Every structure is written in C-alpha cells, then in structure tokens.
Structure 1
Amino acid sequence: MKIYRKIVLFLILVIIIILAFFYSQRKNGETNKEILKGKIEIITDEIHRPQLKLAADRFKLLHEKVNVDIKVLKDVDNNVKSILNNSQYDADIITVDDSYVKYVLSENSGKFLEVTNLINPYKSTLLSNKINNNSIKGKVYAVPWDTYPRVLIYRKDIFLSQGIDAEAIKTWSDYIEAGRKINKNTGKVFVANTLDDTSDIYLLLANQLGTSYFNKKGELDFQSSNWNRLVEIPNILYKEGLIKDFNSESELIAKAQANEIVSFIGNPVCITDLMKYSEGSGKWAIMKLPAFESGGNRDVSLGGVNLLINKSTSSANLMQEFVKFTLMDDKLQMDLLNYYGRFPVNMNVYNFVDFNKNVSYFNSEVWNLFAVIETGSLSINYTKDFPKVREITENTLTSYNIKIQDFKTIVENIENSLKHK
C-alpha cells in the first residue's frame, strides 16, 4: 500500500513539474512576443479602398495599437514617383496593377522593399504567375492582392426564348451566330464591353491565345499569326453591331439591370455587383469564354493589383505583418470575395467548402468556375514598356478604326506611333 502511495505521489509531482514547465514557456512566449503598433498609410484607388478598409479593420481587431489610414488617388499607377516624392504623403504601401509593376519598379529602382523572404513560405499556395510578374532577377518586390479571371455572363432566359442552347456554344463562331439571331429578334445589345485597361477585348483574346502586345521574348507581337487571327472576332462584332462599348463597369451593370444587355465578359467584381440587383436572380448564368476552335483554350485571366512596400517606411516589420495577414487570413479571404468580388491569389481558398457552394443567383458554383479558369489561364508577359504600348494601341485600335481600316494599316500606325513616343 505504501509503494502504491509513493507511485501516485511521484506521478502527481511529475505532472506538476510538467504543467509548471509549459506554463513558464507560455508566459515567456507571451512576454517575448512583439506587440505590433504604429501607423500604416496605404495609397490606392477607389475600387480597392473598401477592400483594404475591411482588411485594415480586421487587422486592428488583432492589433489594437495599429492604425491604418487609406488614401484614395486617381491613376495611382502613373503617379507612383510623385507619391513617393511628395511630402504630403507618408505612403507605406502603394497598390499597383499587374501591367504596371515592371514599369514602376524600373522607374523607381531601389525605392521598394524586397519581400522574397515574406513570400517564400507561401510560394506554393500563391499563384505562380503573379509572383513571377512581381520578381526581378529572382527577387520579389510586390505582393499580389487580387486577380481577375473572366467568364461570359449571359441572360439564359433570353437564350432559351430564342431556342439557343448556351451549353452548345463552344467557339467564337458559335457565339457570333447566336448573337446574330438574338440581335435581330430582340434589338438588345448582344455583347457589352467596357473601355478600361483590364477589359480590352483585344488583350483578352490575345491572352486566350497565349500572347499580349508582347510575345514571350518581350518583342511586339502585332504581326504574328495570333494577332491576325484574334482581330477577326472584334472585327465581326463591331462591323455587325453586335458589340457596344461602355465607359465603365458600373455603367455596364446599370444597363444590364435595365434589361438592355444580353451578355458581357465579366470578372468576379461584376458578379457581386450584378447580384445587388435581386430581380435578376435566375435570369443570368455564366460559362467559360468560347474558344477559337473546338477543344481550344477557354480560360482567360487579365489584371490584378499588388501591394508594394515603401523601402523608407518607418516599420518594415509592421507592413509585412499586415500584408501577410491580408493574404492568409481565411475568413477575410471569403468575406472580401463575397462582399466585393475580390478574387484571392491564395489557392488554399479554392478548397474551402464555402468557396465551392452553389450561388443561387446563377444556380452555379460560380467561384469554383472562376478558380478553374484562373489556374488554367495563360500568363501575360508584362514588360516595363507595357503601359506605353497599351496606351498607343488603345488609341489606335478603336472600334471606329477597325471598321474603316484593315488591320495591317492599324499595326503600321501603332508601330509608327511607338517610334515617335
């Protein structure tokens, strides 16, 4: 009996020692843990302001001594240098579009914090094309915030009323034939397009064929067989009056809500904006873009914003902790998606149960389809000269010019303009 008591006392003593050890370790950990504090100033555009505000509010719930100030400016991409040099801004983080990252880094060499070590632990979970675009000589200088895969959003009730099976549409030729019939019988705009950088129909089609203004070697690609092939699609759409341009996505959505539009190429933001119009529920559906040929590529993704950290920030650690939180917090990823259509670059999110739920408005697993398209899309070679070439191309390759000039003449005008730029 005495031996039994000694064993019990010994075990109790061991347990007390173990508990005391773990308690001591926990207290030491809490003592040594850095308390984040300070101010973060973010410069962004109006579209991303509410998204970053939500991220900032969630971050502050965890770190009460951190304040985040978000300032909105027009055309941030073209004004990064002045933002960095203007004393009225204490910009810690600046948002920059995919197409401007290489340009901004080349124009502001040494001004942004290298974030390779921040990215490396999550490299396998983040979209590789985004990381590659944000890298120079193997070093990463920008953290991806969002991405814009594309789907065809269409009025399934109108398609059905015209006896058109949307699931049978596999190619652009199929789509155009359907448009001719619908346009003739309804008089509605068959396909709507917005005149902004990320909705350029020529660039969307180029991405579908694995190119852009530049090929993979960084050379202008306008005289390639790909461009001669892709230009035929908008050529038909514009000349036959099947497509109509709108100044902004908000204007396009308003027209869609007013029952004036039959289809448009849309991104995740368009989905959340369209769903604000409850009367459209059950009328709209989504599918992949048509291919150029049967069995061809139907996955397209174009655009995205990145977070660049000012190297002169007073607290590089605080900025990196904030950026890390915006990428990896699970609940934040889903809320940003559902509230604002901000599509995550963190591929772990694509496996969430909530992410793969059916969206009743479209009666479809909408976010899952976008994920399939995003991971299947081809990369774009964004060179440092991309913004300059895009500006000239958009000013030259207009809906009016495409109606009255042959493509060879348009290409010559683009290349002549570039020589004198």
Structure 2
Amino acid sequence: MKKLSLLLCLAMGVSLLAGCGQGGKENKNELTAWVWNVNVPVLETAEKRFQEQHPEFDLKIVEMGTSDVYQKLTTGLLAGGQGLPDIVLVEDDRIQGYINSFPDAFLNLTDQGFDKETESMFPEFKRDLVSKEGEMYAFPFDAGPTGVFYRTDIFDEAGVKAEEIKTWDDYIEAGEVIKSKTGKDLIGLDLNGDDGLYRMMLNQQGTFYFDEQMKPNLTSAESVQAMEVHKKLKEADLVKNTVGWDAWISSMVQGDVATAPSGAWLAGSITQQGKDSAGKWGVIPLPAFEEGANRASNLGGSNYTIMKSSKNPELAYDFLEYFSTDEQTQLEAMKGGLFPSLTTIYDEELFTEGVDFFGGQAVWKTLADQMTDIPSVNYTGDFPYAKDEAVKAQSEATSGKKSIEEAFKAAQKRLKNRML
C-alpha cells in the first residue's frame, strides 16, 4: 500500500471520467492520446505522415495540463484501466513510479517487438528509465541534456571566457569577476521553491535522491558536495532570487543574470521570450566538481506509454514505434523546444550547423554530445516526496538556519517517515 500512497493522493477529489478514454469504441483504426501543450502539434504532424501509409488511421489527441494527465491516469489505473486512453505521455520523473506501482497496467513493449536494435537507438539512461527487469514499458521521446546557458554580452563586458570554466569553483570565480565588473548576478535561483540545480548536480555525480537500492540518499557525500556549491554561490552574493518560472525566464532574457544552468528545453523558452537578446547567447557543459570529472546530466524529458487496457494495442505500438524513431518527427519536436532522445538523428545538419540565436554556435551538438554520458538514476514513485524534502533542506542550508549536514539529515528522516 505504501507504493500506492502518493498516487492515491493524486487521485483524491478527481472523478472518473470514462468519456475521456476510449470507452466502448470499436474503431480498429482509431487511437486516443493524452498529452500536454507543445506535444500536441508534434503528434498532429506525425499523424498526417503516418496516414500516408495508413489512410484510415485516426488519432484523437486530448490536450490537458500535466497535473490533470496524472490525476486522470492515476484514477483510471486505480479503477483497473477504466476510462483510460490508448496512449499516455509520462515524464521521466514519474514513469518509474507508475511502472512499479501498476506493473500490469502498461503494455510490455518488448513482447510487442521492441528489440535490442530498437533499444540501441536511445541512450542508456532513457532505456533504464522505462524498463523493468529488462522489459521495455514506454517509448523514450524527449530528454533534457543540461548545459550552462550564458549571456555572451555580459561575459564579454566582464572579460570572462566561458570556455575556460571547467569546474564549479571556476564557475564561482567567474561569477565574482562578472559581479565586480558588471554588477550582474551570476545565476537566478528560487532556493525556497525549487532544487533543479541540485538535481542536475546529483545526476552528474551518478546519484540522486535515491541510491541503487531505491533507499533515500539525501545525506550522501554527493548531496553535501552539491549543496556546498549552492551555499558558496549564495554567500558570494551571486544569486538573484527568482521566485517562479516567469521571474526566472525574465531575469535571463532581460540580462539581469549572466547564466542559467538548465536542460536543453530552456532554448525554446529563451528563443521565444527573448527575441531581443538574439545573438547574445552561448552554451557550455555543466562545470564538473573536479577537472576531468563528468559534466553530463539530465533535467526533464518524457516518454509515451501504451495502456494494457487499449482495444488497439498493435496499432498503438505501430504508431508509437514510427513516432519515436521517425527523424522528421524529432525535427518537428525541436521546433517546440523538445530535445529528441533518438540518437540516430544527431548527425543531421540541424545538430552540426550553427544557430544564429546563439551567435552561430552549434548548440545542439554541444548538448547531444552529452547523451551517452548521462548517468542513470532512480526516481522511484516517491520522487515528489523527496523533492519536497530536498527543497526544504536546501532552504535551511543556504539561509544558514542549519548546517548542510543537519538540514539533509533531518530531510532524510522526514522522507523515510513519509515513505512508510
């Protein structure tokens, strides 16, 4: 029951809307998919191309908010699959929880033909996310390889060369020079509301909230080391307090901060919302904790699942196999800021040519080059609990209310209690 506790909470107060699913439909050429925002046009375009070989194919796309998808998915799963569609999009940080809590609810793709050759088209960390006991349960789609997005105009004004930043110590030193020369903060963070930078730092060190045995790992040496960097940034007065998404994006596009460590998807946001800053951007890999150590990490991403309750599982598999391995689909996804996890596309011209918005830098290659080095980590179904406690510990540690060790020891204890 413990593994279902979080999912039950998500489902509370949500009525079972069987009409949103496939109900009793008998059309063998029709599928229904639940997705959110930028994924809609990608599916619509792929549907049209798939129809060239399957003219009677019909994909009914139901767009809703991410939280609504999870609430309705959880409700349907608890009802034994009632009211669920054929296809559901699930983020990286949620997929393991669903597969482990409802192992019989998702179609086993390996049994359907998802073989080793197909698996090899995706990076190992994505394959590990969607598999259980060696069997695949979702098609990997987008990913979030990370980098430090930086304002080249601010770096130039300060006389700092981004390519010389190799470690987190280098990053802080560069920030101190930038602050003294330009008055600009190095980074925007919501230390009381989000821990994205901390998660990136854990991932690049090959660990996460949970260890290889799925046990809480907030007190690890890697966790302490990651938070020490946060504390140094705060104490050096290099952090601009950016509460919420809008404040964070605004701080970058308006030039109030010099850098933004983030996933590849940030490129879409700053391109769309910071048109006046075109040509003033660059990207470097995350700094390492020591020179020569791993700089690859991931933040964000999603995968497409097929519900076992689907009346058309073979058609759903055929469409998603096409969708996830079709290179044109991946290019369409990138228009909306989704970075493909299909590795066979990385040799395409789009990934090797310069991007005007980023001053001619081949930024997609910078990000794609990380994909094979991103460590696999365990999110588990208790990810939301762990994130909540990690954010609380981060706030206490960076504000000086507690030492890093004290804050994360207390967070780990609370997390264990919530997992009972």
TM-score (structure 2 length as normaliser)? 0.83
Can you list the C-alpha shifts for 1:190-215, whole angstroms capped at 9, x where unaligned? Answer: 21246899961111111111111122
Can you list the C-alpha shifts for 1:295-344, whole angstroms capped at 9, x where unaligned? Answer: 2221112332111111111101111111111112122212222x112111
Displacement after TM superposition at 1:100 (Å):
1.6
Which residue of 377, 380, 385 corresponds with 1:383? 380
Match of 2:312 in 1: 315
Q: Give SS of 1:145's match.
A: strand
Which residue of 339, 354, 357 corresponds with 2:353? 357
Displacement after TM superposition at 1:250 (Å):
4.9
One-letter code aligned to 1:336: A
| Percent identity of equivalent pairs | 27
Partner Cα separation in structure 2 for residue 266 and residue 382 of structure 1: 18
Which residue of 125, 133, 138 corresponds with 2:134? 138
CA contact (8 A) 2:47 2:59 kept: yes
Q: Give SS of 1:259's match.
A: coil
Alignment of 1:391-406 (within 5 A): 391-398=388-395, 402-406=399-403
Q: Which runs of 5 or more residues in structure 2 are unaligned?
A: 1-26
Tell me whether 1:161 sits opposite 2:157 in the alignment: yes
RMSD, aligned α-carbons: 2.6
Tell me whether 1:41 sits opposite 2:32 in the alignment: yes
One-letter code aligned to 1:118: G
Alignment of 1:152-231 (within 5 A): 152-193=148-189, 200-231=196-227
Alignment of 1:31-180 (within 5 A): 38-71=29-62, 72-75=64-67, 76-77=69-70, 79-84=72-77, 85=79, 89-116=83-110, 117-120=112-115, 121-180=117-176
Displacement after TM superposition at 1:373 (Å):
1.3
Deviation larger for 304-313 or 78-87: 78-87
Displacement after TM superposition at 1:62 (Å):
4.4
Tell me whether 1:254 sits opposite 2:245 in the alignment: no
CA contact (8 A) 1:102 1:382 kept: yes
Q: Larger C-alpha radius of gyration, 1 or 2? A: 1
Partner Cα separation in structure 2 for residue 134 and residue 87 of structure 1: 20
Can you list the C-alpha shifts for 1:337-395, whole angstroms capped at 9, x where unaligned? Answer: 2x112111211101223321111221211111111112222221233333332232224
CA contact (8 A) 2:42 2:332 kept: no
Q: Give SS of 2:349's match.
A: coil
Displacement after TM superposition at 1:81 (Å):
1.8
Deviation larger for 186-195 or 378-387: 186-195
One-letter code aligned to 2:221: S
Partner Cα separation in structure 2 for residue 250 and residue 138 of structure 1: 40
Query: How many residue pairs align between the two structures?
Result: 385
Q: Which runs of 5 or more residues in structure 1 are unaligned?
A: 1-35
Partner Cα separation in structure 2 for residue 383 and residue 313 of structure 1: 25
Partner Cα separation in structure 1 for residue 395 and residue 185 of structure 2: 19
Partner Cα separation in structure 2 for residue 334 and residue 54 of structure 1: 11
Q: Give SS of 1:275's match.
A: helix
Match of 1:11 in 2: none
After superposition, the Cα gap between the structure-2 partners of 1:251 and 1:315, relative to the gap in structure 1 and judged at 3 Å, is: farther
Tell me whether 1:296 sits opposite 2:290 in the alignment: no
Match of 1:28 in 2: none
Displacement after TM superposition at 1:37 (Å):
5.4
Match of 2:11 in 1: none
Displacement after TM superposition at 1:183 (Å):
2.3
Can you list the C-alpha shifts for 1:264-313, whole angstroms capped at 9, x where unaligned? Answer: 01322211332233332221111111111122221112332111111111
After superposition, the Cα gap between the structure-2 partners of 1:420 and 1:224, relative to the gap in structure 1 and judged at 3 Å, is: closer
Match of 2:410 in 1: 413
Match of 2:10 in 1: none
After superposition, the Cα gap between the structure-2 partners of 1:351 and 1:250, relative to the gap in structure 1 and judged at 3 Å, is: farther
